[in-house]
């Protein structure tokens, strides 16, 4: 038995055996071979096993994730059947008398390089497919096990170095009881996905993959951030009790599901949810969300091998809007980059991806991608209460350009006789300090602000949100953050606009009283945080919290702020 501590990323307790999700060591030696037929047979066998596996994964993915996500596996299957790739591998074995591993590796690399250097996007996507498939075939040649998260069919806790959003999207909630990773923080995208899937998670443990073996029994305590490896019977009993208490607490919270969010002195605020896919809407409604405050559309673009078409996007946006009815839905345009990659766009590696070519920067340059998304959104606008916001806005000029493109597409659609809503509010995310500082100027032109503290904190304190070594600097209660947030809210209100927050800070029990006192209008959080937040706000007096505002803004440190709030709100 041993314990590890990490960051509590998604509430709840999971008890199940470990399933390690790690790409195995695929290194091999170059060998001269006499019996080339034997190598060709080994290759054929590895190809066959890979094919069977991929067919199974594709079927699973179809059921659990839908046809679209399953498509990527069809593309992988095509690669395995492509004689233009397979024959040269066999030829190489015969003519150069090398082992199958070498022939596979060298031939695949040659095709990958060739496709990657082509101008044609479709061809570049094939390079990504070949890369993926080669790893699987190589694992079978080397006889090492290759993880298949989509095939998990028994209760497990997934253990990984990190989980990419597309790995997370493949996890079947029915079997995956929880997960734990070496890296990441509360605002890394794997943690965010875990919360929308309502799977308990502990991230940033630094070494869980080194300590845990497949099939070890694990307890993941997503409430306090602990991972217990091979627990004793007594520990299991303690955590089963904790699990039961948590379920009871959830039932208490659920009593407020259909109530508005009102402070003890009668002030109303809106509690809305962050979502990543149309499937998350059910969780929003079950948890009493009054709307969607952030729809992260990039997940539509991930876990597949080509850009989603206008119609695919239209279907997704329409599904969300229709299910939410009259409730507002704030859709964020594509925010790719940082820890969210799109391999098929084949963007060059960058030294500082979070400060690089991402989000609105990419969309303004690749306006073909941007326009497709905007058209899909505009077409869907008649099906509900749509608001659009642009991510990572650093300058007014960016906002003006993005809005101009939106208006151009709207005009084109209207000319073509397509119905587009006339009441779509257009806002921005405030996640870059420059924008928070001159929020007054922005407020004249935008319809609303949504403060993205996940990024705003990392940029203001210059502390990578993914790096647990500097997580001590990732301080939501830092007076600098409170002053920036206050500046944005005051600027919005001075122009009669509203200000929301869709970073994780909006659902934090220490931050909530502060934000209520600063006058935040809309709090957008993981769906599972809504009912605890509503319960908390019910007992808070907004008037009292407003009276602490100046004092809080002038404090010296985040610790001072936290201590003060804990004292005043009995936490």
Sign of CA pseudo-dihedral 403, 404, 409, 413:
positive
- Restricting to residues 322-361, name those near ligand PEP by CB under 6 A: 335
**H helices of 180-232, where?**
189-197, 208-211
Q: Which residue is nearest to Mg ion (CB)?
A: 455
Q: Which is nearer to Mg ion, 70 or 463 (CB)?
A: 463
Q: How far is the CB of 472 from ligand PEP (least distance, A)?
A: 19
Cα–Cα distance between 481 and 496 in angstroms, integer? 23
Among 58, 140, 195, 296, binds ligand PEP (CB under 6 A): 296
Q: Which is nearer to ligand PEP, 112 or 389 (CB)?
A: 389
Please name which of 498, 501, 497 lies closest in space to residue 512, comparing C-alpha atoms. Answer: 501
Q: Which is nearer to ligand PEP, 339 or 495 (CB)?
A: 339
- Restricting to residues 183-202, name those near ligand PEP by CB under 6 A: 187
Encoded tokens for 141: 């040649």
Cα angle: 490, vertex 452, 180; to 5 degrees: 145
What is the number of other CB atoms lying within 10 angstroms of the CB of residue 491?
23
Cα–Cα distance between 488 and 4 in angstroms, integer? 39
User: Which of 60, 76, 478, 502 does the annotation list as catalytic?
Assistant: 502
Q: Which is nearer to ligand PEP, 137 or 430 (CB)?
A: 430
Q: Which is nearer to Mg ion, 452 or 519 (CB)?
A: 452
Element housing 75 (H / E): helix 67-80
Contact 306, 361 (CB under 8 A): no
User: Which of 69, 76, 189, 478 does the annotation list as catalytic?
Assistant: 189
The count of chain residues that interact with ligand PEP, using the rule CB under 6 A, is 11
Q: How far is the CB of 465 from Mg ion (least distance, A)?
A: 9
Q: How far is the CB of 391 from Mg ion (least distance, A)?
A: 6
Cα angle: 515, vertex 517, 522; to 5 degrees: 45
Q: How far is the CB of 477 from ligand PEP (least distance, A)?
A: 16
Contact 196, 188 (CB under 8 A): no
The one of ligand PEP, Mg ion, none whose footprint includes residue 316, by CB under 5 to 8 A per kind, is none
- Restricting to residues 422-461, name those near ligand PEP by CB under 6 A: 431, 452-455
Q: Which is nearer to Mg ion, 358 or 478 (CB)?
A: 358
- Taking CB under 6 A as the rule, does residue 502 contact ligand PEP? yes
Q: How far is the CB of 224 from ligand PEP (least distance, A)?
A: 23
Contact 380, 318 (CB under 8 A): yes
Please name which of 214, 216, 209 lies closest in space to residue 231, comparing C-alpha atoms. Answer: 216
Q: How far is the CB of 393 from ligand PEP (least distance, A)?
A: 12
Task: Check if 493 is active-site.
Answer: no
Cα of 411 vs its chain's centroid, Å: 33
Cα–Cα distance between 478 and 559 in angstroms, integer? 8
Where along the sequence are the contacts to Mg ion (CB under 5 A)? 431, 452, 455
The one of Mg ion, ligand PEP, none whose footprint includes residue 186, by CB under 5 to 8 A per kind, is none
The one of Mg ion, ligand PEP, none whose footprint includes residue 296, by CB under 5 to 8 A per kind, is ligand PEP
Cα–Cα distance between 129 and 127 in angstroms, integer? 5
Q: How far is the CB of 476 from Mg ion (least distance, A)?
A: 14
Task: Check if 363 is active-site.
Answer: no
The one of ligand PEP, Mg ion, none whose footprint includes residue 453, by CB under 5 to 8 A per kind, is ligand PEP
Q: How far separated are the first and last CA of the chain, in Å rounded?
A: 32
Q: How far is the CB of 359 from ligand PEP (least distance, A)?
A: 8
- Restricting to residues 159-188, name those near ligand PEP by CB under 6 A: 187
Cα angle: 180, vertex 181, 182; to 5 degrees: 140
537: Cα within 13 Å, side-chain hemisphere: 32
- What is the gyration radius of the CA atoms in the chain, in angstroms? 25
Cα–Cα distance between 528 and 542 in angstroms, integer? 23
Q: Which is nearer to ligand PEP, 335 or 468 (CB)?
A: 335
Element housing 165 (H / E): helix 165-170
Cα–Cα distance between 453 and 431 in angstroms, integer? 6
Which is it for strands 13-20 and 156-160: parallel, antiparallel or unpaired?
parallel
The one of Mg ion, ligand PEP, none whose footprint includes residue 103, by CB under 5 to 8 A per kind, is none
- Give the CA distances from residue 134 to residues 77, 103, 137, 143, 213, in Å, rounded to whole numbers and listed in that order: 11, 11, 5, 14, 26
Contact 16, 156 (CB under 8 A): yes
Q: Which is nearer to ligand PEP, 385 or 454 (CB)?
A: 454
Cα angle: 496, vertex 499, 500; to 5 degrees: 155
DSSP percent split of the chain into helix, strand, coil, nearest 5: 55, 15, 30
Q: How far is the CB of 507 from Mg ion (least distance, A)?
A: 15
Q: Which is nearer to ligand PEP, 263 or 475 (CB)?
A: 475
Q: Which is nearer to ligand PEP, 225 or 452 (CB)?
A: 452
Contact 225, 27 (CB under 8 A): no
Among 503, 513, 517, 532, binds ligand PEP (CB under 6 A): 503
Q: How far is the CB of 298 from ligand PEP (least distance, A)?
A: 8
Place of tokens 């594709």: 58
Q: Which residues bind ligand PEP (CB under 6 A)?
A: 187, 294, 296, 335, 431, 452-455, 502-503
**Catalytically annotated residues:** 189, 502
């Amino acid at each position: 038995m041993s314990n590890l501590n990490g960051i509590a990323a998604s509430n709840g307790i999971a008890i199940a055996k470990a399933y390690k999700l790690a790409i195995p060591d695929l290194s091999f030696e170059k060998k001269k071979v006499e019996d080339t037929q034997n190598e060709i047979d080994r290759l054929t066998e590895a190809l066959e096993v890979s094919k069977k596996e991929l067919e199974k994964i594709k079927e699973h993915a179809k059921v659990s994730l839908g046809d679209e996500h399953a498509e990527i596996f069809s593309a992988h299957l095509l690669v395995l059947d492509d004689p233009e790739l397979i024959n040269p591998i066999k030829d190489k074995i015969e003519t150069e008398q090398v082992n199958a591993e070498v022939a596979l590796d060298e031939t695949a690399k040659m095709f990958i390089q060739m496709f990657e250097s082509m101008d044609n996007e479709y061809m570049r996507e094939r390079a990504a497919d070949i890369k993926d498939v080669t790893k699987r075939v190589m694992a079978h040649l080397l006889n090492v096990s290759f993880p298949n998260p989509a095939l998990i069919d028994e209760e497990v806790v997934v253990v990984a170095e990190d989980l990419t959003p597309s790995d997370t999207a493949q996890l079947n909630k029915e079997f995956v009881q929880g997960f734990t990773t070496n890296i990441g923080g509360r605002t890394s995208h794997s943690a965010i996905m875990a919360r929308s899937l309502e799977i308990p998670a502990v991230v940033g443990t630094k070494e869980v993959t080194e300590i845990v073996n497949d099939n070890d029994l694990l307890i993941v305590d997503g409430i306090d951030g602990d991972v217990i490896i091979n627990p004793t019977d007594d520990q299991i009993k303690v955590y089963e009790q904790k699990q039961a208490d948590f379920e009871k607490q959830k039932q208490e919270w659920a009593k407020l599901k259909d109530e508005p969010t009102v402070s003890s002195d009668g002030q109303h605020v809106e509690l809305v949810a962050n979502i990543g896919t149309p499937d998350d809407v059910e969780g929003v409604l079950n948890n009493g969300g009054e709307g969607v405050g952030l729809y992260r559309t990039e997940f539509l673009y991930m876990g597949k091998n080509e850009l989603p078409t206008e119609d695919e996007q239209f279907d997704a946006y329409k599904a969300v809007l229709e299910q939410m009815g009259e409730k507002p839905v704030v859709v964020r345009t594509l925010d790719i980059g940082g820890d969210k990659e799109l391999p098929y766009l084949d963007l060059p590696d960058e030294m500082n991806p979070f400060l690089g070519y991402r989000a609105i920067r990419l969309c303004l340059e690749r306006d073909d991608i941007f326009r497709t998304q905007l058209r899909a959104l505009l077409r869907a606008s008649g099906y509900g209460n749509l608001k659009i916001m642009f991510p990572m806005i650093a300058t007014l000029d960016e906002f003006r350009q993005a809005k101009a493109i939106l208006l151009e597409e709207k005009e084109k659609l209207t000319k073509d006789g397509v119905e587009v809503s006339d009441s779509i509010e257009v806002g921005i995310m405030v996640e870059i300090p420059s924008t928070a500082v001159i929020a007054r100027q922005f407020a004249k032109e935008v319809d609303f602000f949504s403060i993205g503290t996940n990024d705003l904190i990392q940029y203001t304190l210059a502390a990578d949100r993914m790096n647990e070594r500097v997580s001590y600097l990732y301080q939501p209660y830092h007076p600098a953050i409170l002053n920036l947030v206050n500046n944005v809210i005051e600027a919005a209100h001075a122009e009669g606009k509203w200000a929301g927050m869709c970073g994780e800070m909006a659902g934090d029990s220490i931050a909530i009283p502060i934000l209520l006192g600063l006058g935040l209008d809309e709090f957008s959080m993981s769906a599972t945080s809504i009912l605890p937040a509503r319960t908390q706000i019910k007992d808070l007096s907004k008037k009292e919290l407003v009276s602490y505002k100046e004092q809080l803004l002038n404090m010296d440190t985040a610790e001072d702020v936290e201590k003060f709030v804990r004292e005043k709100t009995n936490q």
